[in-house]
Amino acid sequence: MNFFKIETKIDFMAARKPAMAVAVFLVVASIVLMFARGLNFGIDFTGGLVVEVGYPQAVELDGIRGTLAEVGYGNAIVQHFGTSSEVLIRLAPGETEDAASVSNRVLEALRASDASVEMRRVEFVGPQVGDELKEQGGLAVMFALIGILIYVALRFEYRFAVGSVIALAHDVILTVGLFALLGIEFDLVVLAAILAVIGYSLNDTIVIFDRIRENFLTMRKASPIDVINASLNQTLARTLMTGITTLMVLGALYALGGQVTCGHRRRCHRIP
């Protein structure tokens, strides 16, 4: 892709050893964090209560979050469900509380500020379901990596397949390690994002490997390092354009998506 019509000659491979050392350190640190601190699993994995309530008119989520925080449920996940007058509340009951007492307490707190609120449904997700989701989520990531290994091995060469899977595992481990470091809630939405990271990373990897394969045929007298450098420079514009356009889309969603894209978080950027 020669969109900018600029030929670069950056020696990427000159930094391969320090880059490898940094990558290994980050992977090891991420694994240590995952085992030492663990992940902050959401209700989808740990079990909890889902309460759906309805209002006669549109309601602001910040007010509901404040009301729930006053009765001890400050960590509740609150989001619109369907329309701006229907609200879905997800929370984890305490060890000494059952689903009925929690739902009644939530309804009483909401009716104290607005008597017109109606209870629509109450569902309890047990820990057994949460454990099953953990196992299936881990298997989904593992099977995705195995499938990629097989595809790349058949499409290119086995050595390319091993390299691509190692690169994908690096991206996944660092992403999960960041969640462990920051204590960000890990739910099914994040799991889907992890699978998206695998697909996104693989896309660029396949493009670069395909160019390396082509250059090995045309640059027969060049060393493998020169071939890889040439391939990286030839695909650099494409990589930059893909990354920049993706960041533009994410920026637009973050700024203009509103409650649809980030209403389930406790804090959300909103355009005044």
Start-end of CATH 3.30.70.3400 domains in the chain = 48-125
State mean pLDDT over 51-60. Answer: 87
| Contact between residue 194 and residue 172 where contact means Cβ atoms under 8 Å apart | yes
Q: Which runs of E-coded beta strand occur in the chain? A: 40-41, 48-54, 77-81, 83-91, 118-125, 185-186
Digit-coded pLDDT (tens) for 140-152: 878 877 887 787 7
**CA-CA distances (angstroms) from residue 217 to 8, 93, 182?**
21, 63, 46
CA distance 86 to 54: 4
Paired tokens of 218: 């045309």
Architecture per CATH, domain 48-125, reads as 2-Layer Sandwich (3.30)
Q: Residue 73: which pLDDT band, with cuts at 50, 70 and 90?
A: confident
Q: Please check the confidence at residue 29 and state whether its pLDDT lies above 90.
A: yes
Predicted pLDDT of residue 268:
46
Q: Please check the confidence at residue 271 and state whether its pLDDT lies above 70.
A: no
Q: Residue 21: which pLDDT band, with cuts at 50, 70 and 90?
A: very high
CA distance 225 to 227: 5
Sheet with strand 83-91: strands edge to edge: 77-81, 83-91, 48-54, 118-125
Q: Please check the confidence at residue 81 and state whether its pLDDT lies above 90.
A: no
